[in-house]
């Protein structure tokens, strides 16, 4: 299994027979080197979206159409994506993406698309190759984390923790200790804008005994 950060809240997951782009906001993303777009998209088989905000979806429908990639997301958002093969499902539902099982779980944030309603914001639990990843999506601390941790027992957490729009590093560390038993935690949704955390030192200090990985953009992590 390989994980690659695309900057901000975007990730590329390579596992089983799939290469999944999760919230792959590339066009206009100040953290992403535009000249490396082809590298980021190489081999992609699926797109998975957490919600409709521009910093997660801008340019994605056009890219999915260009590369003939199926998109999976909340049912109301899927219905608004034109020109792409979009599958809409809902919280509690699971889809098989080339052998990767993706289950939609709640998040606590907001969502919209092109100024209108887009269903609900979500996260995902991803199971493949004997590993279980909790991808929080944009969220604050929420009570649902308790059952997500207890039911799925994820060993890897990709947590939005830049603050201002989501949990900050201190809150994410508290939630990880309170609700989960992660072996590995990877920060997300940070470094992009001045309002967000620029490093993960607070997260590392708050998660002694947990392997907190802080990759650079387009630096692959082998899991």
The string of pLDDT tens digits covering residues 79-122 is: 999 999 999 999 999 999 999 999 999 999 999 999 999 999 99
pLDDT band (50, 70, 90) for residue 129: very high
In angstroms, how far is CA 196 from the centroid of its own chain? 17
70 closest CA partner among 85, 57, 92: 85
The pLDDT, as a whole number, for residue 195 is 98
Query: What is the domain-level CATH number for residue 116?
Result: 3.60.15.10
Task: Count other C-beta atoms under 10 Å from residue 92's C-beta.
Answer: 9
- Residues 20-32 have pLDDT tens digits of 999 999 999 999 9
Rg (CA), the chain: 16
Average pLDDT over residues 16-42: 97
Average pLDDT over residues 180-206: 98
Average pLDDT over residues 179-183: 98
Average pLDDT over residues 186-213: 98
Domain containing 76 equals 2-215
Count of the separate structural domains present in the chain: 1
Q: How distant, in Å, are the alpha carbons of 26, 30, 33, 58, 159 from that of 134? A: 22, 25, 26, 23, 8
The pLDDT, as a whole number, for residue 80 is 96
Q: What is the mean pLDDT of the chain?
A: 98
Residue 223 included in any domain? no
Residue 80 included in any domain? yes
Give the predicted TM-score (pTM) of the model.
0.98
The pLDDT, as a whole number, for residue 71 is 98
Residue 74 included in any domain? yes
Residue 129 included in any domain? yes
Find tokens 């969220």 and name the residue: 139
The pLDDT, as a whole number, for residue 104 is 99
Average pLDDT over residues 58-63: 97
Residue 184 included in any domain? yes
Residue 203 included in any domain? yes
Residue 222 included in any domain? no
Average pLDDT over residues 32-61: 97
Residue 221 included in any domain? no
Average pLDDT over residues 43-50: 98
């Amino acid at each position: 299994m390989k994980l690659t950060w695309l900057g901000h809240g975007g990730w590329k997951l390579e596992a089983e027979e799939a290469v999944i782009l999760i919230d792959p906001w590339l066009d206009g993303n100040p953290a992403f080197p535009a000249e490396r777009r082809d590298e980021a998209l190489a081999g992609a088989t699926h797109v998975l979206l957490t919600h409709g905000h521009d910093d997660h979806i801008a340019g994605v429908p056009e890219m999915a159409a260009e590369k003939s990639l199926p998109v999976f997301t909340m049912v109301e958002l899927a219905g608004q994506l034109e020109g792409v093969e979009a599958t809409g499902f809902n919280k509690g539902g699971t889809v098989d993406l080339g052998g990767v099982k993706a289950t939609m779980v709640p998040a606590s944030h907001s969502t919209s698309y092109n100024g209108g309603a887009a269903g609900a914001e979500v996260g995902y639990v991803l199971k493949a190759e004997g590993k279980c990843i909790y991808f929080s999506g944009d969220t604050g601390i929420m009570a649902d984390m308790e059952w997500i941790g207890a039911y799925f027992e994820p060993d890897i957490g990709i947590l939005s923790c830049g603050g201002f729009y989501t949990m900050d590093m201190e809150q994410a560390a508290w939630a990880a200790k309170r609700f989960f038993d992660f072996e590995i935690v990877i920060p997300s949704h940070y470094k992009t804008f001045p309002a967000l955390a620029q490093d993960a030192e607070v997260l590392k200090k708050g998660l002694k005994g947990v392997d907190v990985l802080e990759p650079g953009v387009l630096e692959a992590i082998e899991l």
